[in-house]
A and B are shown apart, each in its own frame.
Chain A
C-alpha cells in the first residue's frame, strides 16, 4: 500500500507527556476512578482480616478492633471510603452507557438503568446499618 505521506518533507509528532492526566480535570477524574479500585481491594482485605480475627477467637478479634482504631488505619479507611463512594457513583453513572436496553422499540432513559442500582445500594446499605446498629 502506498504511504500517502511518503514524499512529504516531514511531520511533527508531539510526544504525549507522562503527566497528560494532569492537563485536564476530566483526565484526572478518570485516573482517580481507575485508582479507586486499589481502595476497593483494600476494603476487601480489611473485611477478610476481620473474618479471620472472628474465626480465631475473642482475643484476636479485640486485637483487630484495636488495630482498626489506630490513627493511621482510621485515616486510611476514611480516604478509602471516599474513594469507594467515588467508585460506586461513577460506576452507576457509567452503566447506562454500556447497556442500551430497548423496550417497545425505544431505548430506556439513563435513569431507568442507574436508578435501580442506586435504590439497591440504598436498600442494602440500610439493611447492613440495621444489622450493625440495632444493638
Chain B
C-alpha cells in the first residue's frame, strides 16, 4: 500500500474567488485515518487557511458533513484507505450556499427545523414534580427518528431540495414525525398543518437517497412516506366525517 494519498479539496474565498476551485494536497495514508484527520493534517502542516467545520470527530455532533467523491459523508466516519490509491475529492455539502472552502451556510435548514416544531407540545403541562411515564414499546415507536444528529447529509443527497429550496426536507420532517409518534406529545395537528402542505411531505418524490446517506440510520424517507399515509387518512376521515374529528 502506497503511504501517501492525494486529496483534491474545494477552495473558495468569497473575497476574491468568482467560484470554487480545487487544490491538491498529498497527505499520509494511514490505516486509522479518516478524511477529517487528513483535512486536519492539511490545516496543521500544509495550508493553515483551509476552512472546514468539525467538532466531536465521533459521529455525534453532525458538523463535519462533506461530499466525498460525490457522496455525502460524515468525514469523521469515512476512512481514507477506502479510497486508496486516490485521489479523493472532498467538496462542501451540495445544495447549500458555500461560505468558504468546505463551510456551508445551514441557516435555511435551521429555519425549517424550527417550523416543524421538534419539541414536545402539551395542551396542559403537568406540574414540574410530576413525571411523564413511557413504556419501552412507546419509546421504540419514535426512537429511530430521534437518532438524527442534524448533520444535513440528507439535504445534500436530496435532489428535490436541490431543485426546490422551499421543500421542508428530510430531517425536518423526520424530526416532526419523531415528536408526533411520542406518547407524551399532543402537537400532531399543529405540525400537520405545516407539513401537509405542498412544500412539506408532498414535495417528496421518494428518491430515497436521504435514507441511504444517513449515518445514524434514521430513515427520513420512511418517515415522510409514513407521514403521507397519516395525512391521507386524516384527509379521508375529514371527508367522511366532516364533524367530530378535531384532528386528534
A interface list, Cβ under 8 A from B:
3-5, 8-14, 16, 20-21, 23-24, 26-27, 30, 34, 94, 97-100, 102, 105-107
**Which residues of B in the span 145-176 have a Cβ within 8 Å of any Cβ on A?**
159, 162-163
Q: Is the CB of A27 within 8 A of B107?
A: no
Measured CA separation A115–B14 after assembly (Å): 54
Q: How far is the CB of B147 from chain A (nearest CB, A)?
A: 15
Known contacts A11-B98, A11-B105; can you find 5 more A-B pairs with CB under 8 A?
Answer: A8-B99, A11-B97, A12-B97, A16-B163, A97-B219
> Looking across the interface, which residue of chain B has its beta carbon closest to that of A4?
B107
Q: Is the CB of B19 within 8 A of A12?
A: yes
Asked whether any CB of chain A lies closer than 8 Å to the CB of B117, the reply is no
Asked whether any CB of chain A lies closer than 8 Å to the CB of B221, the reply is yes
> Looking across the interface, which residue of chain B has its beta carbon closest to that of A17?
B162
Measured CA separation A118–B107 after assembly (Å): 44
Q: Is the CB of B207 within 8 A of A98?
A: no
Q: Which of A8, A23, A97, A99 has the most CB of B within 10 A?
A: A97
Measured CA separation A27–B157 after assembly (Å): 10
Q: How far is the CB of B28 from chain A (nearest CB, A)?
A: 30
Chain B binding surface, main DSSP class: mixed
> Looking across the interface, which residue of chain B has its beta carbon closest to that of A94?
B206
Measured CA separation A5–B159 after assembly (Å): 24
**Which residues of B in the span 208-232 have a Cβ within 8 Å of any Cβ on A?**
208-209, 211-212, 219, 221-222, 225-226, 228-229
Q: Is the CB of B209 within 8 A of A26?
A: yes
> Looking across the interface, which residue of chain A has its beta carbon closest to that of B12?
A12
Measured CA separation A107–B207 after assembly (Å): 23
Q: How far is the CB of A24 from chain B (nearest CB, A)?
A: 7
Q: Is the CB of B14 within 8 A of A34?
A: no
Q: How far is the CB of B12 from chain A (nearest CB, A)?
A: 6
> Looking across the interface, which residue of chain A has its beta carbon closest to that of B164?
A16
Q: How far is the CB of B138 from chain A (nearest CB, A)?
A: 9
Q: Is the CB of B15 within 8 A of A9?
A: yes
> Looking across the interface, which residue of chain B has its beta carbon closest to that of A26?
B209
Q: Is the CB of B99 within 8 A of A11?
A: yes
Asked whether any CB of chain A lies closer than 8 Å to the CB of B82, the reply is no
- Known contacts A11-B105, A105-B140; decide if A30 and B228 are in contact (CB<8 Å): no
> Looking across the interface, which residue of chain A has its beta carbon closest to that of B99?
A11
Asked whether any CB of chain A lies closer than 8 Å to the CB of B94, the reply is yes
Measured CA separation A13–B20 after assembly (Å): 10
Q: How far is the CB of A94 from chain B (nearest CB, A)?
A: 7
